[in-house]
Amino acid sequence: MLTPIRKPIARAIAPVRALFVGDASAGVLLILVAAAAMLVANSPLAGAYEELFYGKLSWTPIAKLDDLHLWINDGLMAIFFFVVGLEVKRELICGQLSSPEQRRLPIMAAAAGMAVPALVYVGVIGGDAELLRGWAIPAATDIAFAMGVLGLLGSRVPASLRLFLLTVAIVDDIGAVLVIAAFYTANIKLMWLAIAAVVFGVMVAMNRFGVARIWPFVLVALVLWVCVLFTGIHATIAGVLAALTIPMRDTTGHSMLEKMEHGLAPWSAYLVVPIFGFANAGVNLSGMGIDEVLAPLPIAIAAGLVFGKQLGIFGIIFAAVKLGIAKAPENANWVEIWGITILCGIGFTMSLFISGLAFDGNRTFIDEAKIGILGGSLVSAILGYTVLRLTTKHPEERPVEPVTP
């Protein structure tokens, strides 16, 4: 038991402790990485930063990946998407998406949270056909970043809202993967697609016939990644496909999927995503004026993240609860739910990834997109944290205030 004097002190330092433990650490690391990338890109090291990631490699085992940036985005990020795929499969089989009742509200919220930001984006940019390719950039929510900000609030936020944010972000990732596969794919090479389909079939057969070792799945997954890379479909989709073939239980009754997820998740959160963030978040602002910063592209992305996410997610939750279609998160009031929907406007990893696909080869648009992503995510993080900090209470102070239809 904390003494009356120590209790306020413990509460005061809780946000500081949260920087190093729990859900906040991966998100805070991303914030620091993004800040470091911006500092380096606008320092005397800018040339070295550019050469490191975009300079042509003297040798590469795959000619198509001829610089470090491509190896990170097409190769290293396949691990991130593999972990996402494992998480999605686990949630669908035995987690928070395993029953229709549990899936209903997160799926509705994620769908609205992708559609409305896209509509806001399209509305802001008008009829510019070239910029239209970026419509999906503000549609994604960054799990680590959003959960990191939420982690800074400690126990003030009801567990039901934490779970809701995590579930919406997972469904959001599913939607983002489908969008990448459907809308950001170059000319498909049918021969490589057929080979990839055969390799994927082999992995499915390995699952069905009870292959109990991890290494065969890893080896065949690497082959699948190479095949998908040459199909014209983005190579990281191979990560998701491979994850879906991993057995939930092996012949000994142990969970191969959970073992792989637990083994890879820390590497993904603390190495893969930070490297990706550092390689992609740096924008050299020296040649940019106020016109570029306030150009239609960054404004459209920021508006989609800050306003579109709130309107879409909060609107669908409110409508679903009032119409009796779904139940609101337990022990949470409407203001707290609104605060969570604001945090859904933090779009970092997936948004940066999609911007690179949408404007491939156009560095001006990619840099403007980064400004919009970083600006919109920062505003969403600060606003969401402020709303939840001012309106939530610690468990011992909280009366039960269920949301009623």
Residue keyed to tokens 């930063």: 49
- Reported as a single tens digit per residue, the pLDDT across 236-251 is 889 999 999 999 987 6
Helices within 95-213 (DSSP H only): 100-125, 129-132, 143-151, 159-183, 190-208
Sequence-distant contacts of 89-97: CB under 8 A, at least 24 apart = 89/243, 89/244, 89/246, 89/248, 89/257, 90/248, 90/257, 90/258, 90/261, 91/167, 91/170, 93/248, 94/248, 96/163, 96/166, 96/167, 96/170, 97/167, 97/170, 97/171
What is the dihedral angle through the alpha carbons of 362, 366, 367, 368, rounded to the nearest 10 degrees?
A: 110
Amino acid at 326: A
Specify the pLDDT at position 135: 96
Q: How far apart are CA 339 and CA 389, in angstroms?
A: 9
Q: How far apart are CA 332 and CA 354, in angstroms?
A: 33
Q: How far apart are CA 111 and CA 120, in angstroms?
A: 14
CATH number of 18-397: 1.20.1530.10
Return the bridge partners of 146, or none.
none
CB 278 within 8 A of CB 37: yes
Specify the pLDDT at position 108: 95
Amino acid at 280: N
Specify the pLDDT at position 12: 46
Torsion region of 126: left, alpha or beta (phi above 0 gives left; psi -120 to 50 gives alpha): left
First-to-final CA distance of the chain:
38
Q: Which residues of the chain have pLDDT under 70?
A: 1-24, 186, 251, 394-405
Domain boundaries, the chain: 18-397
